[in-house]
Amino acid sequence: MTTELRAQVCVLGCGPAGITVARCLVAGGADVLVVESGQLHWDAAAQALLDGHAEGPVIKDFPDYLRDSRRCQVGGAGAGWGDGPRPWLMDFENEDFAPQDWLAHSGWPVTAAELAPYSARAATALGIAAFDAPGRLDGAGASCRLSSRQYHFPVEPGVLRADFHQLRRAPNCRVELGCTVLRLVVEDGVVLQAWAVAGGEQVRIRADRFVLAAGGVENSRLLLLAVDRRGQPAGLALAPAVGRFFMEHFHVVAGRVRVPVTPRWLPYLAGGPDPALGHDTLRVLQLDAGARRVERLLGASVQLGCRGGPGALARAEAGTAVECDLFVRAEQAPNPASRVSLDGGDLDAYGRPRARLRWLPVAEDWNSIVRTARLVLAELRTGFGLSGELLIDEGHPWPARPASPAQSDRPTWGHHHLGTTRMHDDPEHGAVDRNGRGHGAGNLYLAGSSVFATSGFANPTFLIVALAIRLADHLLATLGLGEPVGADSSGRR
């Protein structure tokens, strides 16, 4: 028996991107179907579908990277936020979108100015204040090349789960959990249907528009699995950029420094409530844009991670120095050889090839981290009199034993999968256009961090939500549903 589902827009995936796109489309009056392979809570059988093989010098022999770094359930990678951890939210800078003449494959087809209205709406939707531009450090001299950035933490970490429950109550939205999309059927660039399975029964999905929002690895896997009506690989599966340019965020303990527990440094050591903003924040250090251009460095932030945690701070008297790690979160240079492909020798429970990841940094990635940490430490010494040491060097890349964010407060990566269906005007160098529509596709759009052209250093959730709001506006316009949701609105009605 085959069940047929029909909607104006079918959103495949129920993480931050899928929930946000669906929420805005529903608010705009579209008839929406949301399909999620997992359940509301953790489901072992669904999670097993995300198994796969990953390799590379950062991962080393870490066995479960692809399963460990993804969540097959409502909320996706953000599913744990309501259980204690908080989403680390930060906007990208102007420089993150601009091409750099020394960095191959850099630059986005959209600018920070174009995305600014959607960033404002994303802040409202996530319950945080708007981000300030990078600022000078308190007490810094005129020659200091350090700037200060701020992570924002929403008061309600489960905001997207609350949005999901609103979707389930909306009369123009149908949500199907435990429904796994097996393949897209594509002919002449148009998705004719999606075949899925739910409860052991076949499901055929037809829609005017399809939005893939299944995550940075699964989006590319679904494109690579796409077939035509004869069961042959579809044109989308053969597009040059699909699956390529995989990026992650490197996390490296690069050095140590002694920092006094004073009002100047406390926001960097522990963060906490910001009365002016109404929620918690944490400050991190960054080389300013001018220094990065001169030194030809990739983006990176440096967190002063207090060794011993809050207890060490509580025991320290004002003015007493505490030992801190220089914890670097760093951008990866786009590399087409770093890619997701299909593993024909390893099949999932539905007989589909699993994902195979080759995460391949280039020498520039590691060297940029070392040079950034060295320059930040030098600025802290000369500008503020702090003492410290560098723990890494150019000659010994990726020395750390791999650890995931679930295992350590100093992990080796961020669980951030980016770039495998990147945004670019040229289909030779990207999988989607500036509006998120697949190149050569009439009705297929992609959402989430897989469309990032470059990674920046910031956690991707905030930009994922901003881009998802922008995509929903575009889809509402193409559906002829009147004016898109205004730029001063969060998308909730």
In the chain, the number of structural domains is 1
Q: Is 229 helix (H, G, I), strand (E, B) or coil?
A: coil
Residue 272 domain-assigned? yes
Q: Would the CA dihedral through 166, 168, 171, 173 be positive or negative?
A: positive
Geometric angle at alpha carbon 454, from 121 and 53, rounded to 5°: 110
Is 204 contained in some domain?
yes
Q: Is residue 489 part of a domain?
A: no
Reported as a single tens digit per residue, the pLDDT across 317-364 is 777 899 999 999 999 999 999 999 999 899 999 999 999 999 999 999
pLDDT, tens only, 77-119: 887 664 556 789 999 999 999 999 999 999 999 999 999 999 9
What CA–CA distance (Å, rounded) separates 154 from 430?
33
In the chain, the amino acid numbered 131 is F
pLDDT score at 169? 96
Total Cβ atoms within 10 A of residue 316:
17
User: What average pLDDT score do residues 158-170 get?
Assistant: 92
Q: Considering the domain boundaries, does residue 344 fall inside one?
A: yes
Pairwise CA distance, residues 426 & 443, whole Å: 18
What average pLDDT score do residues 371-384 get?
97
Q: Does the pLDDT value for residue 491 go beyond 50?
A: no
Per-residue pLDDT, 445: 97
CATH number of the domain residue 441 falls in: 3.50.50.60
The C-alpha atoms of residue 43 and residue 18 are separated, in whole angstroms, by: 19
Identify whether 492 is part of a domain: no
What range defines the domain where residue 217 resides? 2-478
Of residues 103 and 408, which shows the higher confidence score? 103
Is position 281 within any domain?
Answer: yes
Query: Is position 484 within any domain?
Result: no
Q: What is the mean pLDDT of residues 2-22?
A: 97
**CB 233, CB 315: distance < 8 Å:** no
CA distance 70 to 105: 26
Task: Tell me, yes or no, whether 373 lies in a domain.
Answer: yes
| 420 confidence band (pLDDT: 50, 70, 90) | very high
The token pair that represents 151 in the structure block: 């992570």
Kindly tell me if the per-residue pLDDT of 55 is higher than 70. yes
| pLDDT class of 486 with cuts at 50, 70, 90 | very low
Q: Name the residue with higher pLDDT: 484 or 42.
A: 42
The residues facing 322 across adjacent strands are: 259
pLDDT at 483 over 80: no
* 8 Å CB contact between 288 and 95: no
CB atoms < 10 A from the CB of 350, how many? Answer: 11
Please give the residue that has the higher pLDDT: either 67 or 423.
423
**Type and span of the H or E element at 285:** strand 279-287
